[in-house]
Amino acid sequence: MLRTLFLHPRAACTPRSALIAMIISALFSVGGCRGLVGVPDASAPPAPARRSEPSAIPLTRWPIKTVEPVDLWLHAFALLLDDTAAPPLFRRGYRDSLTVVKNRANVLTTLDTTRAMLTKRLLITPSYLQAQVLAFEFDSWVELRTAAERFVLADGDDRKVSDRAPVEHFVQFARIFPTAADREWLAVFIVGVQDEQVRFFNAEHTRLVRMRNATITAVDSLWQRTYRARFDRFLASTGQANGDVLLSIPIGGEGRAGIGRERQRMIAVPFPSRVEDARDVIFVLAHELTAGLVSRVLLGTSAASLQRSFAVTRAISTAQVRAGAMLLERVAPELVEAYMQFYLTQSGVAVLPPALSATFVRTFDIPVAARDGVRQQIDVAVGGI
């Protein structure tokens, strides 16, 4: 029904507010609620199971995994954003590269046709980006979609749901989508992601993971046999003794960290296309594992001064890049130069090796007090002082 709606010539000239209303009506009306909670969709393909490759050892600490629902959710957000940040929120050039693939396959999904409207609202309400980590808490795309649909159907009020869906999910959605306009955006987004999953992403993700099996093995070996042990003291000192590492196709230098269904820490890192780039995972892990430490230091170091110079959130992002280099200096110094080159490349900065360190420091500049505070905390965490 929704596909018919978007292909209908009248929809193309319908005002934005009316178009949203038409989509919501199609999604949530009695006659068009196929795929909603408790209403089976005979035409829908079986829900893909969560994938986990490798490790075969059940109790491996910080195992390497791939999880399609997380990738789908991040992929959908990536299609809405330009990669102009430094480093960008997603793999540089990801959206353009996927657009080429979809054009070649002659695929146009509902997410594509509503992208302009979704992006416009996202740019004026950037808090929607907080929803990226919600996918970590669900075992499948169907579970995530169902929770979002229940939230919208109940108008954000969990008391309106007869089977008492988990209150925490409502709280999380309500924090990010508190108004009716926010929930309209979420409803349109969910419709788009569902169509994207069925018509393109599931098959494409399966194909890419199969092609990159050798990379998964290389990353797992590099992390578990060489570098994880070097991070152990830092991990224990910072309360991160265990978690999951998720290889994610849309992710670049900016990883994602969140909490999983079992309350474990989960970190999404790049999924390199080549075995030769397996070290990229270690780089982004170093960057993400310092997040809590960096936040504590910066929020406790002259917050007023930081507010005057640049936004605290931007300061934290920049300081994490520097912190990752500081951590590698202590636990894997042979990777520091390659780490610097990686993040400069992610930020679109070309540099010759003799100027590498100076360019890195200049590109990711942070206040001296913050730099010294982060370095001191890393030294303490790895047992240096």
SS3 185: helix
Give the mean pLDDT of the chain: 82
| Residue 47 scores a pLDDT above 50 | no
Residue 358 tokens, joined: 């100076």
β-bridge mates for residue 267, sequence order: 245, 257
* Model confidence band, residue 128 (pLDDT cutoffs 50, 70, 90): very high
pLDDT band at 46; cut points 50, 70, 90: very low
The domain limits of the chain are 67-211, 213-385
Residue 17 or residue 178, greater confidence:
178
Query: What are the φ and ψ backbone dihedral angles of 268, each rounded to 5 degrees?
Result: -90, 130
Asked whether residue 45 carries a pLDDT value surpassing 70, the answer given is no
C-alpha–C-alpha distance, residues 98 and 117, integer Å = 19
Residue 240: per-residue pLDDT: 93
Mean pLDDT of 319-326: 96
Return d(Cα 87, Cα 284) in angstroms, integer: 12
Q: Please state, for a pLDDT cut of 90, what percent of the chain lies above it.
A: 60
- At residue 330, does pLDDT exceed 50? yes
Residue 138 tokens, joined: 């669900």
Provide the phi-psi class of 57: left if phi over 0, else alpha when psi is between -120 and 50, else beta: beta
Written in H, E and C, the secondary structure of 332-370 is CHHHHHHHHHHHHHHCCCCCCHHHHHHHHHHHCCCCHHH
Q: What's the pLDDT tens digit per position in 284-306?
A: 999 999 999 998 888 775 444 44
Residue 82 confidence (pLDDT): 79
Q: Given this model, what pLDDT does residue 256 score? A: 93
pLDDT of residue 181: 95
| The pLDDT of residue 315 | 75
Half-sphere exposure at residue 378, Cβ-oriented, CA atoms within 13 angstroms: 26
User: What is the per-residue pLDDT across 52-81, written as a single tens digit (0 to 9) for each?
Assistant: 444 444 468 999 999 999 999 999 999 998
Q: Which residue has the higher pLDDT, 121 or 22?
A: 121
Query: What pLDDT sits at residue 167?
Result: 66
Name which residue leads in pLDDT, 307 or 201: 201
Model confidence over 339-376: pLDDT tens digits?
Answer: 999 999 988 888 877 899 999 999 999 889 889 999 99
pLDDT tens digits, one per residue of 130-169: 999 999 988 899 999 999 998 998 886 666 665 555 667 7
Tokens at residue 76, please?
A: 């959908």
Return the closest-CA partner of residue 148 out of 175, 195, 187: 187
Count of CB atoms within 10 A of residue 218's CB? 19
Strand partners, 265: 243, 259
Cβ–Cβ under 8 Å, residues 273 and 254: no
Higher pLDDT, 58 or 194: 194
Cβ distance 223 to 370 under 8 Å?
A: no
pLDDT at 85: 61
